Structure 1
Amino acid sequence: MVRNGDVWVSDVFSSVIRYEFQTEMFDTEPQTMLKLIDDLRNGTDVESDPFPPEMQSNSPKQDRKKLPHMFRANSLDAVSAEVAEVLRHHDIGRTKLYPARLLKKNGDLHEGEFFFLNIRELKRGFDPEHSTNVRPGPNPNAGDRGMMPFILDHDQVAVTSDVLEGPDLWLDPTLFRSLFFKGALAKELIAKKLIPGTGTESRAIARCVVVPPA
């Protein structure tokens, strides 16, 4: 039985504007930073030590507005305290939040409190046969089955009902640049206007089609 609305998908960390920050660790410990970025993409457990103690904006221009609730600080996924609070009300499994100290170009702290997000939960439920407008994955030999649509809309991405088991937030390594939410978590983030829009026709987050397992 097909069910819509139980699972939602977003490419929020790939589609919103990436905010440019600098940290000495990128210069003094480049291999540590590259490993951290790779681990985060693969859902690996990351301790707090590899995260930079603080990051500073590269541009006064980007400091003129308040940072969004979900964004990429260079290559690190960051969320506001408001998003973190919502996540704590749901089952996020082994996913972790680490405080992020983000400075403006002039050294002042950015308004608000922020956290780096280490998503540790992986589920392989993407179903390309029942999906529409998804693109070929960049590395099918490594298990990629697709890439998120250029313009995301409801009911384009299909997942199997297996993903309804377990935590409410997860990565699917078979669908490149995807981030999945169960319905209750997605709807709370939407209701509180915590999912940033992309400024295009693409939805920031969209309902999935849920199909039986193969």
Structure 2
Amino acid sequence: MNDETEVWVSRAMMDTTLIKGFDSDIYEADEEKALLGLRMTRRAEIVTPDQVPKIMWLKPTQKLKNAPDLFLGGGYWIASAALADVLRQFDLGETKLYPVSLFRSDRKTPFDGEHFCVAFGEIKDTALPELSPRLGKVPYRTDPLWTLSLAPEDGDVALSPGATQGVDLWMEPKIRDAFFLSRNLVTALRAAKLTKRLGLTRCRVIRPN
């Protein structure tokens, strides 16, 4: 990623309309292993291919005509081929895109297109909550953790200059349910018309005087 002043944050992880009811092969075969992998991906810890699903199917109670370009299925973030194609053009570091086959509830009828499990594997500890008054502090925690506002605005999140260096997609350990993107990545996603459901707002990069 180039040293740019513009960094963006997505609230997609807070969007409950992106939650879709899916079951998976890994959960069916080994629930404990599946839950461990889920906890790791939520913390952007590196996971191996055998820690994410290879096959997922829609729950019988869930109605879904078409899979969105990004959604949470069975606890895993799933990207369309179109979204994955854009992401691959950038520095993802240890974040991986693992192929996953999506089926209807009969486990036989596939959803159209290819899909990929997004296994976040990069963090940058650059968030400055003390300079981000609209962030909400998560109560009853020994380790300080914050969340985005329910109606986030540009400038809500302050970051140190390190946010402009390194990978183009990452998570921040002090901010829950959010991922961050470089300016160049957001520009490419916009060109591909893939930002509609990402809930993007611009961060403030605080540079020394």
TM-score (norm 2): 0.89
How far apart, CA to CA, are the structure 2 residues paired with 1:159 and 1:35?
30
How far apart, CA to CA, are the structure 2 residues paired with 1:114 and 1:188?
19
Tell me the equivalent position of 1:35: 36
SS class of match (2:86): helix
Structure 1 residues 13-51: Cα deviation after superposition (integer angstroms, max 9, x where no partner)? 331420101125324411101100011012221111122
Tell me the equivalent position of 2:51: 50
Tell me the equivalent position of 1:205: 200
Q: 1:20 to 1:138 in 2, by over 3 A?
A: farther
- Which runs of structure 1 show a deviation greater than 4 angstroms over 4 or more consecutive aligned residues? none
How many residues get paired? 204
Structure 1 residues 104-136: Cα deviation after superposition (integer angstroms, max 9, x where no partner)? 123311112110011111101111222242111
Tell me the equivalent position of 2:8: 8
Deviation at 1:196, TM superposition (A): 4.2
Amino acid at match of 1:141: T
SS class of match (1:63): coil
Structure 1 residues 167-200: Cα deviation after superposition (integer angstroms, max 9, x where no partner)? 1110101011110001110122123221343xxx
How far apart, CA to CA, are the structure 2 residues paired with 1:208 and 1:194?
19
Does 80-89 or 21-30 show the bigger shift? 21-30
Contact 1:60 1:104 in 2 (8 A): no
How far apart, CA to CA, are the structure 2 residues paired with 1:112 and 1:138?
41
Confirm whether residue 151 of structure 1 aligns to residue 148 of structure 2: no
Amino acid at match of 1:96: K
Structure 1 residues 81-104: Cα deviation after superposition (integer angstroms, max 9, x where no partner)? 111111111111121110011101
Tell me the equivalent position of 1:200: none
Deviation at 1:67, TM superposition (A): 1.0
Contact 2:25 2:54 in 1 (8 A): no
How far apart, CA to CA, are the structure 2 residues paired with 1:138 and 1:177?
15
Amino acid at match of 1:51: V
Query: Could you say what the CA RMSD is over the residues aligned between the two structures, in angstroms?
Result: 2.1
Contact 2:137 2:144 in 1 (8 A): no
Amino acid at match of 1:204: G
Deviation at 1:212, TM superposition (A): 2.2
SS class of match (2:63): helix
Q: 1:131 to 1:79 in 2, by over 3 A?
A: same
SS class of match (1:101): strand
How far apart, CA to CA, are the structure 2 residues paired with 1:47 and 1:122?
17
* Structure 1: 5+ residue stretches without partners: 198-202
SS class of match (2:203): strand
